[in-house]
Protein backbone atom coordinates (compact mmCIF):
# COMPACT_ATOMS: atom_id res chain seq x y z
CA UNK A 1 0.00 0.00 0.00
CA UNK A 2 1.15 3.52 -0.72
CA UNK A 3 -0.67 6.59 0.67
CA UNK A 4 -1.12 9.47 -1.76
CA UNK A 5 -2.50 12.27 0.46
CA UNK A 6 -4.85 13.17 3.26
CA UNK A 7 -8.42 13.59 2.05
CA UNK A 8 -9.96 14.96 5.23
CA UNK A 9 -9.68 15.07 8.98
CA UNK A 10 -12.31 15.72 11.61
CA UNK A 11 -12.32 18.60 14.07
CA UNK A 12 -14.52 18.27 17.13
CA UNK A 13 -15.65 21.79 18.00
CA UNK A 14 -17.81 23.57 20.56
CA UNK A 15 -19.52 25.94 18.10
CA UNK A 16 -19.68 25.01 14.40
CA UNK A 17 -20.77 28.50 13.27
CA UNK A 18 -17.93 30.18 15.17
CA UNK A 19 -15.46 27.67 13.73
CA UNK A 20 -16.73 28.22 10.18
CA UNK A 21 -16.43 31.99 10.57
CA UNK A 22 -12.87 31.74 11.96
CA UNK A 23 -11.53 29.39 9.28
CA UNK A 24 -13.22 31.26 6.40
CA UNK A 25 -11.97 34.67 7.58
CA UNK A 26 -8.54 33.73 8.90
CA UNK A 27 -7.59 31.05 6.36
CA UNK A 28 -9.91 31.58 3.39
CA UNK A 29 -11.47 28.13 3.64
CA UNK A 30 -14.80 27.52 1.93
CA UNK A 31 -17.67 26.37 4.13
CA UNK A 32 -19.56 23.39 2.71
CA UNK A 33 -22.86 21.92 3.90
CA UNK A 34 -23.31 18.27 2.91
CA UNK A 35 -25.22 15.12 3.85
CA UNK A 36 -27.71 15.62 6.65
CA UNK A 37 -26.77 19.26 7.34
CA UNK A 38 -23.13 18.39 8.13
CA UNK A 39 -20.47 21.09 7.72
CA UNK A 40 -16.95 21.00 6.36
CA UNK A 41 -14.17 23.45 5.59
CA UNK A 42 -12.74 23.01 2.08
CA UNK A 43 -9.22 24.01 0.98
CA UNK A 44 -7.28 22.73 -2.02
CA UNK A 45 -8.19 19.07 -2.44
CA UNK A 46 -8.73 18.50 1.29
CA UNK A 47 -11.32 19.27 3.92
CA UNK A 48 -11.90 19.43 7.64
CA UNK A 49 -15.21 17.80 8.58
CA UNK A 50 -16.75 19.36 11.67
CA UNK A 51 -18.37 17.49 14.55
CA UNK A 52 -20.10 19.41 17.32
CA UNK A 53 -19.03 18.30 20.79
CA UNK A 54 -21.74 16.07 22.23
CA UNK A 55 -23.28 15.46 18.79
CA UNK A 56 -20.40 13.59 17.15
CA UNK A 57 -21.03 10.80 14.67
CA UNK A 58 -21.06 7.31 16.14
CA UNK A 59 -17.85 6.34 14.34
CA UNK A 60 -15.22 8.81 15.59
CA UNK A 61 -11.88 9.07 17.35
CA UNK A 62 -11.96 7.41 20.76
CA UNK A 63 -11.08 10.63 22.59
CA UNK A 64 -12.51 13.24 20.22
CA UNK A 65 -12.42 16.62 21.91
CA UNK A 66 -12.08 20.30 21.07
CA UNK A 67 -8.50 21.53 21.17
CA UNK A 68 -6.88 18.14 20.46
CA UNK A 69 -5.53 18.95 16.98
CA UNK A 70 -2.12 20.32 15.97
CA UNK A 71 -1.98 20.78 12.19
CA UNK A 72 0.37 22.42 9.70
CA UNK A 73 -1.10 24.02 6.58
CA UNK A 74 1.08 25.04 3.62
CA UNK A 75 0.35 28.33 1.82
CA UNK A 76 1.49 29.85 -1.45
CA UNK A 77 1.55 33.38 -0.01
CA UNK A 78 4.66 34.87 1.54
CA UNK A 79 4.86 34.40 5.29
CA UNK A 80 4.83 38.21 5.63
CA UNK A 81 1.47 38.29 3.81
CA UNK A 82 0.18 35.57 6.13
CA UNK A 83 1.21 37.53 9.23
CA UNK A 84 -0.34 40.75 7.90
CA UNK A 85 -3.61 39.00 7.03
CA UNK A 86 -3.89 37.20 10.38
CA UNK A 87 -3.29 40.46 12.24
CA UNK A 88 -5.85 42.26 10.05
CA UNK A 89 -8.57 39.79 11.10
CA UNK A 90 -7.61 39.88 14.78
CA UNK A 91 -5.78 36.56 15.09
CA UNK A 92 -3.08 36.49 17.79
CA UNK A 93 0.13 34.87 16.61
CA UNK A 94 1.69 32.75 19.36
CA UNK A 95 5.01 32.19 17.62
CA UNK A 96 6.74 33.06 14.39
CA UNK A 97 7.74 33.47 11.81
CA UNK A 98 10.18 30.70 12.68
CA UNK A 99 12.09 28.14 10.63
CA UNK A 100 10.96 24.53 10.95
CA UNK A 101 11.42 21.17 9.25
CA UNK A 102 8.51 20.33 6.95
CA UNK A 103 7.75 17.02 5.26
CA UNK A 104 9.65 18.07 2.11
CA UNK A 105 12.22 20.55 3.40
CA UNK A 106 12.59 23.77 5.35
CA UNK A 107 9.50 25.85 6.06
CA UNK A 108 8.84 29.24 7.66
CA UNK A 109 5.93 28.98 10.07
CA UNK A 110 3.57 31.04 12.20
CA UNK A 111 1.50 29.49 14.99
CA UNK A 112 -1.88 30.52 16.36
CA UNK A 113 -5.00 28.93 17.88
CA UNK A 114 -8.51 28.51 16.57
CA UNK A 115 -11.63 29.12 18.70
CA UNK A 116 -11.29 25.64 20.27
CA UNK A 117 -7.58 26.11 21.09
CA UNK A 118 -6.36 23.76 18.34
CA UNK A 119 -2.81 24.72 17.37
CA UNK A 120 -2.67 25.88 13.76
CA UNK A 121 0.68 26.22 12.00
CA UNK A 122 0.65 28.06 8.67
CA UNK A 123 3.83 27.63 6.68
CA UNK A 124 5.56 28.27 3.39
CA UNK A 125 8.43 26.23 2.00
CA UNK A 126 11.73 28.10 1.76
CA UNK A 127 13.42 28.26 -1.64
Residues forming beta bridges with residue 105, ordered by sequence position: 102
The residue from 17, 52, 81, 121 that is catalytic is 121
Contact at 8 Å (CB) between 57 and 50? no
Cα 86 versus chain centre, distance: 13
Q: Cβ-count burial of 14 within 10 angstroms (0-12 exposed, 13-18 middle, 19+ buried)?
A: middle
Q: Cβ-count burial of 20 within 10 angstroms (0-12 exposed, 13-18 middle, 19+ buried)?
A: buried
Active site residue 56: no
Contact at 8 Å (CB) between 120 and 114? yes
Residues forming beta bridges with residue 12, ordered by sequence position: 51
Q: Annotated active-site positions, please? A: 121
Amino acid sequence: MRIDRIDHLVLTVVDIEKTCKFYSQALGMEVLTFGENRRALIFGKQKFNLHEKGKELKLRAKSASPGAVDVCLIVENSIEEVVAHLRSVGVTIEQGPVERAGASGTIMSVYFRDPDENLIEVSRYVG
